[in-house]
């Protein structure tokens, strides 16, 4: 019998999410970015790795401002948000070589929004065969690379990502 170890999942299983700070509010202090898996904080938009990913490279892109839905974003925020989503996809394409992507926004609890008070896009890189019987039958995901290693690989590319600023 093979044993599948995923000790980082225990943090999620045992965590009490109630009463904690919003994971999408970056604050002013950048000293905790690595611990929080924050790859980029711009003037209007931020990128953070999903601590409990569906697969390697699962990113979350959110407005810096605490906003629950699209209708409450300014035009500048909407433009910058999509610009960062596009660039995050391009970074993942070049660095992780996925064969496709799922990019989406869950709005509202019934739509699957885990943090419905602060809207965010999911960017999920996909590879042929990345889901197998373990996910379907055992409700287990096998993620071949540790999240800290993926963070280390992606961080230099997000460090080059500047604010959109309305150009192009």
Residue 11 has a pLDDT of 62
49, 39 Cβ separation under 8 angstroms? yes
Residue 143 has a pLDDT of 74
Does residue 118 lie in a domain region? yes
Residue 147, SS3?
A: helix
Of 44-53, 76-85, 142-151, the range with the lowest mean pLDDT is 142-151
Number of domains in the chain: 1
Backbone angles phi, psi at 40, to 5 degrees: -155, 135
Q: What is the pLDDT averaged over residues 139-151?
A: 79
**Distance set, CA 2 to CA 5, 59, 61, 131 (Å):** 10, 30, 36, 18
Does residue 10 lie in a domain region? no
Q: What is the pLDDT averaged over residues 121-138?
A: 73
Q: What CA–CA distance (Å, rounded) separates 69 from 82?
A: 14
| CATH assignment of the domain containing 83 | 3.30.428.10
Does residue 18 lie in a domain region? no
Residue 131 has a pLDDT of 67
Q: What CA–CA distance (Å, rounded) separates 120 from 107?
A: 9
Residue 9 has a pLDDT of 59
Catalytic residue, chosen from 120, 131, 146, 164, is: 120
Give residues with Cβ within 8 angstroms of 23, minimum separation 6: 36, 48, 51, 115, 118
Cross-strand pairs, 28: none
Q: What is the pLDDT averaged over residues 54-75?
A: 92
Does residue 167 lie in a domain region? no
Does residue 71 lie in a domain region? yes
Q: In what order do the strands lie in the sheet with 100-105?
A: 38-41, 45-49, 59-63, 121-126, 100-105
Residue 20 has a pLDDT of 59
Does residue 34 lie in a domain region? yes
Inform me whether the pLDDT recorded for 142 exceeds 80: no
Residue for token pair 């008070």? 117
Q: What is the pLDDT averaged over residues 95-106?
A: 93
Residue 92: give the domain boundaries. 24-159
Q: pTM of the predicted model, to two decimals?
A: 0.78
Does residue 47 lie in a domain region? yes
Does residue 123 lie in a domain region? yes
For residues 75, 76, 81, 82, the Cα torsion angle rounded to the nearest 10 degrees is 70
| 120 catalytic residue (yes or no) | yes
């Amino acid at each position: 019998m093979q044993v599948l170890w995923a000790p980082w999942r225990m943090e999620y299983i045992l965590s009490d999410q109630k009463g904690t700070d919003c994971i999408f509010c970056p604050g002013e202090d950048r000293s905790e970015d690595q611990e929080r898996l924050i790859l980029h904080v711009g003037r209007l938009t931020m990128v953070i790795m999903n601590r409990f990913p569906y697969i390697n490279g699962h990113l979350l892109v959110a407005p810096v401002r605490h906003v629950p839905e699209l209708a409450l974003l300014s035009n500048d925020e909407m433009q910058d948000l999509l610009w960062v989503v596009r660039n995050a996809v391009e970074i993942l394409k070049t660095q992780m070589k996925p064969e496709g992507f799922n990019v989406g926004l869950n709005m509202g609890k019934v739509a699957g929004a885990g943090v419905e008070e602060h809207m965010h896009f999911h960017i999920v890189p996909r590879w042929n065969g990345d889901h197998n019987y373990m996910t379907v039958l055992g409700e287990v995901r096998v993620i071949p690379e540790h999240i800290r290693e993926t963070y280390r690989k992606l961080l230099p590319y997000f460090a080059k990502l500047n604010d959109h600023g309305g150009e192009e």
